[in-house]
Chain A
Amino acid sequence: MAKKTTSPESDIYTAILALACLAVLAATVFVTLKSIDYYGSESLFKIEAPR
């Protein structure tokens, strides 16, 4: 099997994508915390007893 050659530029773009995903994840966490702070945890998820 031939060894796939990788260039250093592809690592940079991968890092950019990873950074973007991390930013999205951080934003999601921020929005979630903010929502919990504003409206409580029941507005996001609620644990109900089984019927």
Chain B
Amino acid sequence: MSILTKILAFLLSAISLLLVGMVVAFVGNTENYKQAYDEQKNLVTVMRADQATMEEQYNTQIKKCTELETKLQQQLQNMEADNNRLTADLRKAERMAQQYQSQADSWKGVMTGFEQSVRNLQASLSETQTQLDQARTQGIKDQKELNQITADLYEKIVQLQALEAERRRLLEQKKDLEEQVVTSNIPVREVRPVTPLTREAAPVTTTLPTSTDVKGLVVEVSENLVTLSVGSADGVREKMVFHVTRGSQFLCDVVITNVDINRSAGIIDLKVQQPQVGDTASTEL
């Protein structure tokens, strides 16, 4: 064996061993792609199954979302309709509030006028009450004078009855004397009265003013105060007496104490029944 053959055999063996080692190392360390492929394939299968499940769930959720969206859309439309209706109601309520506010303002003005009228009426009532007290005082004085005049009248009546009895007695005496003269035939002279009758009866004159009949209606009645619908323009004067009647029934008299142009007020006198608003008042029955 030549030297060249030996060298070739040695190099061939060395290279063969080196290549064998490299191949064994490479093959031993290489990755099992088939197994990895199978694992990835199984993983893809599982992922596809999961994808199908997820798609099914996604479709279910989409369907639910669609239904929920439809329902919410319907609710939204209903709420918009309610909102519009409530807006219209709100505007209507605002208009009503403005109207009520204007009415309240007007009523406030009216109430202010009423308060002023009430104050005026209270002042008038106080004044009328004072006049009523004065009239009552005057009535008491007049009653006392009337009682005094009545007592004087009774006294005069008694005196008149005594004088009448004296006149009758004198007439009887005169008749007896005339019979005695006739039986004794004494000539009769003209009999003259001792006191000549020079007075003549004066005609009866009334001091009351002549006035036409004034008629009116009772427009207001308080306790003893009556307001009539006629005034100075109709010829009403103070201290005039009105007779208040209801149909043919006499109720009372009203003595006028205050006279206005178209109104008059007075106090009740000779009260038979309480007058009411609408009763007739006239100066002549």
Contact = CB atoms under 8 A, between A and B. Distances in A.
Contacts of B13: 16-17, 19-20
B100 interface: no
Interface string B20-38: 1001100110001111000
B192 interface: no
B9 interface: yes
Given A38-B33, A39-B34, 11 more contacts: A7-B1, A10-B1, A17-B9, A17-B13, A27-B24, A31-B23, A31-B27, A34-B27, A35-B27, A38-B32, A38-B35
Interface of B, helix, strand, loop or mixed by DSSP: helix
A23 B16 contact: yes
A27 B20 contact: yes
A24 B28 contact: no
Interface in A7-35: 7, 9-10, 13, 16-17, 19-21, 23-24, 26-27, 30-31, 34-35
Given A38-B32, A38-B33, A38-B35, A30 B24 contact: yes
A8 B101 CA distance: 139
A33 B33 CA distance: 15
A23 B1 contact: no
Contact of A23 (B5, B6, B17, B27): B17
Of residues A27, A34, A35, which shows the largest number of chain B Cβ atoms within 10 Å of its Cβ? A27
B10 interface: yes
B41 to A, nearest CB: 14
Contacts of B17: 20, 23
